[in-house]
Structure 1
Amino acid sequence: MAVTEHKDGRGKKAYTPSLLFPRYHQWDVVGKLLDATLGEGVGQTYLVQHSAGSGKSNTIGWLAHRLASLHNDKDGKVFSSVIVITDRRVLDQQLQDTIYQFDHQQGVVEKIDENSSQLAKALDKGKLIIITTLQKFPWVLDKVGSLGGKSFALIIDEAHSSQSGKAAVKLREVLTKDEGDGAIGGSGADDESELTDEDVLNSIMASRKRPPNVSYYAFTATPKPKTMELFGRNGADGTPEPFHVYSMRQAIEERFILDVLRGYPRYAATIWDLAARCIALSMTGKEELPIRPPPPRVPVHHSGALAYVLLSEIPEPARSFFTSNIQNSTRPAVGRETDPKDCAYLWDWEDFLDGRR
C-alpha cells in the first residue's frame, strides 16, 4: 500500500492510499535475491543492474522489508538489521519516503542523519531497517564487523552523482579523517578531480576487509568495471557479471524512459562525411569531393549479449578520422578487438540506423 501526499481543495495536506503492485522485474529480482540469500547464506555480494525507469526506489524498499523479516528453514531470523546506504549527504528523500511508506508498524524504520552515536544506538537496539548516508558507510562496515554475533544486510544505492573541485575536496576530507565518525584512511584531500559516489564506495570496499556477517546488495544503472569486480559474480566465461539485469533497451521498449537515439543523426554517415570533407579540404581547398562515396557498411560482431565492430574493418578514410579524433576519448564508441565491452550499446545504434535508412 502506497500513500501519496497532495493538496486538497483548501490547500491543506491530504493523503491518498493506493495499491502499489510491482512490475515483473521488481517482483523477479526481490524473489531471486531472497532465494539466493537463503541458499547461499550470509556474507555474499549481489549486484543488481537496473536501468533508469526501473523503479529502483520501490525495488529497494520492497527488498529492505522482505530481508528484515526473512527467516531460514529453522525459523531463525537471517538478519539482525537491514542497513540502506544512499549516496547523498542529505538522505535521498524519494528513497526515504518509499521505504517509510511500506512501514506498517511504527518504529520499523530508523533514519540516521546526525552522527555515528545515533547509528550505534540503532544497531545495538536491533532496529530492523536503518537508512543512512555514504559518509557513514566506512563506520558502518567497521561497526557491523565488530558485532560478530549478529548478521546484517547492506543495501547500497549506487547512483552516479558526482563531486568535483572544492566539493570533491570536502568529500575526500570527510572520508579520510580518522575521528571515529566513519571514514576511510588515506590522502588526497587536495585533489580536485571529479569524484563520483560510486568511486567512493568502491574505494571503501576495496580498502577494508569484508566482515563475514554482512551480505551486500548493490543497485546501479551502469556499473563501472570496479563495481562489477567488487559486487559481481563470475559468469560462464569467468568474467564478473550482475546478479540481475533490467536493461535500458527493455525500459525503452516498455516506454518508461525515452529513446535518446531518436534525436541523433546517422552516426556512420556523419563520420564518413566529416572524414571525406577533411580530406577534400586538405586536397582541394573545398569541402566537397567530385564524387562523394556512400557511407560504408561495417560488419557487426557479437560476444554474448554484446555487439561491436572492429577498427580494422572500418574502411578509410573513416578509420583514420575515427582513430585520430574519437578513439582516444575516455569511453570509445567502437569496440577494440581486446575489449568489445566498450561498445555494448552499439547493437541498439545499429538497429536505429537500420530503421532510418
Structure 2
Amino acid sequence: ERQARSERAESQNDHGHKKPKNAFDVAAPTKKGVREGSAEPKKESKDDRNDEVAEEASHKEEREKSPQSEKSPRKRARSEERDVERRSRDDHRRKRYEDDEEEYRRSSRRRRSDRDVDGERRMSRRRGRSGERSRSERRRSEDREEGSRRRSEDREEGSRRRSEDRNRSRERRRRRSSSGDRRRGSGAPKLDNAPVDLAAWGGSMRRELLDILHDHVQGTKTMYLDPSISPDLSLLVEVDDLKSHGVDLWRKLDADSAGDAAAAQDSKQIIFMVHAQSSDTLAMIDLVAEKILADYGRLKANKESAFERTYTLICVPYVSHLVLGRLQQRMVMSSLAEVLPLHLMGLCVEGDVITIDQP
C-alpha cells in the first residue's frame, strides 16, 4: 500500500493529476482515488488524507519561504522598506505642500497689503494731481479773465484816445481854416457873408484833402502836383495848412523837373496829384511811372531798400479805369501804396461865384 502510494505521488503533480512523460504526452486529468485503466474509485483511508493535508501544508510553507513567493521574508522586508520610504515621501510632500500653502497665504496677504498701500498711494497722488490741476486751471482761468479785462480796458483806452485825437485834430483844422480865411493876403475867397452857405461846401473839400494828408500818408511828405491843378489849389488850402500836415516840399510834375528826385531823396513819403479827366492824363501817369522807376534804380545802385519809400497817387476828381490801366501797363501799380480819389467837383472863386470847370 505504501509502495503504491509513493508511486502514485511520484506520478501525480501537485493538483492530483498524472504527470506527463514528456512535452507531447499530456495525460488527461484523472480523479483522485481512481486508478488508471480502472473505472472503480479508490477508497482512501484516513491516514492518506492526513498525509495529503500535511504534504499540502509543507508545500505551502515551502512556497511561502521561496524567494519567488510574495510572502517570503526578504520580499516582506523589502515591501516594508518601500512602505516606509513611501510614507516618508508622502510626509515630506505633505509637509512641503503645507509649507507652500503657508507661504502662499503669507505672500497673498503681503500682496493684498501691498496693493492696499499702493492703492492708497495712488489715490493720494491722484487727489494731489487733481488738486494741482484744479488749482492750475483756476489760475489759468483767472489769468485769462485778467488778460481779457486788461485787453478790453486797453481797447477802450485806445479808442478813447483815438477819438480824442480825432476831435483835437478836427478842432485844430477848423481853427486853422477859420484863421486862414481871415488871414491877410490869402488867395482863398471870403465865404462868411455869402448868400449861399458855400463855406460848408468848400470846407468839406478842404477837409477831404487834409484828411488824406493826415490819415492815409503819415510822416514827412513830398508832393508832385499836376500843372493843371497847382494854380487853383490855393483856392482850397494854404501853404501853412500843407506844412502843418507834413508836406515839406512840393514841385510841379513835368519832364523838366530833373532836380525833383534829388530834392525828394530824403523824403520817405511821395505823393503824386494828377487830373484824371484831362487831355494830359496819360502823359502825367507816364511821368509818375518814370519817377518811380528812376527812384528804384537809384536805390538799387546805392544798395538801399526800396520798401522804405512809399508812393501814393491822388486822382482828381476820381480814379478812372484809364489811369489804372496805364499804371498796370507801365508795371508800377504794385509800387503804389494807395490810389485815392479827391472829389473836387467845383471851386469857390468869390463869395457868390462857383466855378464847375474842373482844373
TM bracket, shorter-chain basis: under 0.3
Higher relative contact order (CA 8 A, sep 6+): 1
- Report the structure number with the largest CA radius of gyration: 2
User: So what's the TM-score if we normalise by structure 2?
Assistant: 0.28
Higher helix share: 2
Higher strand share: 1
